[in-house]
Amino acid sequence: PAHPDMLAVPDPNAVIQLPWNKEIAWVPGNCVMEGEDVAQAPRNVLRRLIKEAADEGLHVKTGIEAEFFLLTPDGEEISDPFDNAEKPCYDQQAMMRRLDVIREISDYMLELGWGAYQNDHEDANGQWEMNWDFDDALATADKHSFFKFMAKSVAEKHGFRATFMPKPVEGLTGNGCHAHISVWDAPGADSRNNVFAAEKGTGDIAELGLSEQGGHFLGGIMKHASALAAITNPTVNSYKRINAPRTMSGATWAPNTVTWSGNNRT
């Protein structure tokens, strides 16, 4: 009661027309109070960091892998009672039984020009992953927020419930959201060179084709990993996934150490 209203000022460059209802647009907004950007608002934070990077000639691009469960409307069980294999990852039969949902979401992403390119039944029963092309960091963040809204809307239309909770079902692999991060010499289609990439050489980093700058980036991620958890793992449910016992499929796919390598899925 002691503060003025906080306003969400729409970003006209990020409007998304609902593919399933053309009369409605989804528009992300920037939080403003008393004429000033709210410093703590996540989209404002990202916009500020994008500008700081641009001032150094760096432009961050990201791609994410969105994972979710399709549950019954009450959220108590997975939606497909026949999706009960001990190791269900990439199960064709389960994919076909939920094809209407996955196909509709995919068609919408294609219509929106996102470059949808891969869907799969993930490691847990009732779990799915859907992927689209990487983009500038703010564009990917907006798309990710919209994707969750879209997936939940389509699931409800088909009589199901979509959830992106980190650990919605005890004993099953949780939902992850892998982030692919690269830094380029220009934004959008103007980018030509990935500054993290280099000719393969000798040494732990060079043999992977990583530039010295890319190595410093990895070092920064590792140095600040514990603090980053406040952002990447913001709920109690997040830690039910990180420290979970081995799941029915045999793996949690959740990290519990701060480490790196060329290809380390643990």
Measured distance CA(138)–CA(227) in Å, rounded:
22
pLDDT, residue 2, reads 86
Q: How confident is the model over 235-260, as a mean pLDDT?
A: 85
What domains sit in the chain, N to C, each tagged with a CATH number? 7-55 (no CATH), 59-197 (3.30.590.10)
Q: What pLDDT score does 23 carry?
A: 97
- The structure tokens listed for 99 are 């094809």
What pLDDT score was predicted for residue 51? 97
Residue 243's pLDDT band, with cuts at 50, 70 and 90, is confident
42 — pLDDT class (breaks 50, 70, 90)? very high
Q: Is it the case that residue 46 has pLDDT exceeding 70?
A: yes
Q: Do 16 and 144 contact (CB within 8 A), yes or no?
A: no
Tell me what the pLDDT averaged over the chain comes to.
Answer: 94
pLDDT tens digits for range 225-242: 999 999 889 899 999 888
Helices (H), the chain: 42-55, 92-97, 99-111, 137-157, 212-223, 225-232, 236-242
69 compared with 260, residue with greater pLDDT: 69
Q: For residues 94 and 215, is the Cβ–Cβ distance under 8 A?
A: no
pTM of the model: 0.94
Backbone angles phi, psi at 130, to 5 degrees: -135, 135
What dihedral do alpha carbons 118, 119, 120, 122 form, nearest 10°? 100
Choose between 56 and 247: higher pLDDT: 56
> How confident is the model at residue 204, as a pLDDT?
85
Whole-number pLDDT of residue 106: 98
Confidence band (pLDDT; 50, 70, 90) for 262? Answer: confident
pLDDT at site 245: 84
158-198 pLDDT, tens per residue? 999 999 999 999 999 999 999 999 999 999 999 999 999 99
Per-residue pLDDT band at 248 (split at 50, 70, 90): confident
